[in-house]
């Protein structure tokens, strides 16, 4: 039998990854809340966040992080970007190679996920799992592709054969910076794309916004030491295509609600999952500003979320920008 892997975080994405990984060997799914762990284990289903997706027999659910990690070939840390540091700090001192499945920029520190890992667990082999993946589709075994990016080539080499399968195709990447910027920024652009549709500005406007959003992402990735071509792949363009058009996107649907005139607080209050683009937008804008990178679409989203501009005002400001060459 192959070594187990640990999936740390029993949200929708963590649960889906545990289901996918069980096709290749044993999996331990860790939930921070003992009551939630017990409920998922008893029902063999994460009824609250991923209803209808049954856990295979090879998935063990536990609230004991030490037990989940014992003997694991590697661990997938599948928690949102904002609590990532606190969760990581509370894990046992000895960790196997770590794959972070968060997409975002941490408020306050402005760190990308792997920067948080490096700060709290220096020297730990780590990578990021990112790409166009809806949890419910991965859990259902529908075809999908994602990227495992790391500066250490041994990390993707370890993960790909154990996590990938015939219908969950994984690619190796050596540009974790570009991959993380793409994964974080696409959520913010998706809010803008949804707002455009919700406000009735049309498909032309959405296509233009997504394309220009991709250009913004590429500029920031390059400024932080990544590569623009990474953003043209799964972690940038691929994720944008899914998140800016798919009805299952929490960020896109939030934007639609805002475009229709609903308030941010009431929209978020009606949700069970995390809409990562909301805390990421101002943090991403601050990180870009510190790097000397202009991101007009991200700035517009941050202004709308902060109540400083309406969707219509933000769109007028974007359209009134001085003419320039594409790039």
Last residue of a domain, one of 123, 158, 174: 174
Axis crossing angle, helix 296-305 with helix 311-319, rounded to the nearest 10: 160
What are the residues whose beta carbons fall under 8 Å from the beta carbon of 183, sequence distance 6 or more? 103, 104, 128, 130, 131, 235, 239
| The total number of residues written for the chain in this structure | 327
Same domain, 25 and 66: yes
Q: What is the CATH number of the domain that holds 230?
A: 1.10.1040.10
Same domain, 205 and 116: no
Q: How many domains does the structure of the chain reveal?
A: 2
Domain annotation covers residue 199: yes
DSSP symbol at 71: T
**Rounded Cα–Cα distance for residues 53 and 105 (Å):** 29
Tokens of 5: 């892997």
Report the relative pairing of strands 126-130 and 144-149 from DSSP bridges.
antiparallel
Domain annotation covers residue 151: yes
Same domain, 93 and 46: yes
Yes or no: say if 278 and 268 are a contact pair by the CB < 8 Å rule.
yes
HSE (side-chain half, CA atoms, 13 Å) at 326: 6
Q: What is the CATH number of the domain that holds 38?
A: 3.40.50.720
Surface-to-core class of residue 86, CB atoms within 10 Å of its CB (0-12 exposed, 13-18 middle, 19+ buried): exposed
324 is catalytic: no
* Nearest-10 Cα torsion for 156, 161, 164, 167: 140
pLDDT tens for the chain, 327 residues long, are 589 999 999 999 999 999 999 999 999 999 999 999 999 999 999 999 999 999 999 999 999 999 999 999 999 999 999 999 999 999 999 999 999 999 999 999 999 999 999 999 999 999 999 999 999 999 999 999 999 999 999 999 999 999 998 899 999 999 999 999 999 999 999 999 999 999 999 999 999 999 999 999 999 999 999 999 999 999 999 999 999 998 889 999 999 999 999 999 999 999 888 899 999 999 999 999 999 999 999 999 999 999 999 999 999 999 999 988 887
Domain annotation covers residue 326: no
Domain annotation covers residue 266: yes
Same domain, 110 and 40: yes
Domain annotation covers residue 222: yes
Catalytic residue of the set 28, 103, 162, 186: 186
Surface-to-core class of residue 186, CB atoms within 10 Å of its CB (0-12 exposed, 13-18 middle, 19+ buried): buried
**Rounded Cα–Cα distance for residues 281 and 103 (Å):** 12
Query: Could you list the residue range(s) of the whole structural domain that residue 137 is in?
Result: 5-174
Other beta carbons within 10 angstroms of residue 125's beta carbon come to 18
**Rounded Cα–Cα distance for residues 262 and 86 (Å):** 32
């Amino acid at each position: 039998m192959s070594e187990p892997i640990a999936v740390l975080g029993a949200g929708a994405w963590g649960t889906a990854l545990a289901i996918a990984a069980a096709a290749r060997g044993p999996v331990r799914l860790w939930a921070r809340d003992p009551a939630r762990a017990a409920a998922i284990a008893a029902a063999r289903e994460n009824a609250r966040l991923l209803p209808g997706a049954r856990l295979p027999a090879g998935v063990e659910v536990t609230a004991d992080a030490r037990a989940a990690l014992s003997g694991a070939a590697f661990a997938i840390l599948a928690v949102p970007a904002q609590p990532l540091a606190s969760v990581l700090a509370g894990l046992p001192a000895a960790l196997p190679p770590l794959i972070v499945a968060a997409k975002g920029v941490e408020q306050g520190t402005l760190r990308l996920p792997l920067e948080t890992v490096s700060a709290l667990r220096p020297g730990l082999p780590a990578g990021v799992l990112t790409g166009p993946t809806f949890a419910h589709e991965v859990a259902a075994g529908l075809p999908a592709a994602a990227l495992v990016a790391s500066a250490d080539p041994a990390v993707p080499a370890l993960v790909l054969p154990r996590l990938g399968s015939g219908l969950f195709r994984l690619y190796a990447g050596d540009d974790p910076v570009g991959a993380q910027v793409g994964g974080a920024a696409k959520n913010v652009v998706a809010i803008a794309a949804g707002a455009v549709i919700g406000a009735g500005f049309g498909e032309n406007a959405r296509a233009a916004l997504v394309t220009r959003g991709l250009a913004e992402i590429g500029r920031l990735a390059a400024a932080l030491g990544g590569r623009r071509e990474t953003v043209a792949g799964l972690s940038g363009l691929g994720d944008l295509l899914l998140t800016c058009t798919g009805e299952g996107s929490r960020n896109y649907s939030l934007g639609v609600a805002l475009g229709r005139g609903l308030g941010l607080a009431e929209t978020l209050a009606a949700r069970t999952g995390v809409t990562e683009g909301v805390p990421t937008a101002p943090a991403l804008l601050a990180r870009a500003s510190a790097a000397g990178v202009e991101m007009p679409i991200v700035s517009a989203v941050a202004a709308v979320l902060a109540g400083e501009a309406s969707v219509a005002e933000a769109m007028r400001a974007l359209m009134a920008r001085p003419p320039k060459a594409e790039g």
